Amino acid sequence: MTGFTAGSDDAEIAAVTNDVLGHFGGKQASATPADVAAPRR
């Protein structure tokens, strides 16, 4: 399976993360672009 993170910036990934956690996790998520950037280094 091809990765999708190479074509997405940190803000886009944070937005998707927040949406998925809010939809399936049942709570408000607060991932920021900085949260995404740290493990991508």
Cα–chain center distance at 41 = 15
At 26 the pLDDT is 77
Task: Compute the distance between CA of residue 30 and CA of residue 25 in angstroms, rounded to an integer.
Answer: 12
Task: Compute the distance between CA of residue 8 and CA of residue 4 in angstroms, rounded to an integer.
Answer: 7
Residue at token pair 């399936």? 24
Structure confidence by residue, pLDDT tens digits, 1-41 = 466 656 888 999 999 999 999 888 777 889 999 999 998 77
Q: Give the DSSP per-residue string, 3-40.
A: -SGGGS-HHHHHHHHHHHHHHHSSS-----HHHHHHHH
At 25 the pLDDT is 77
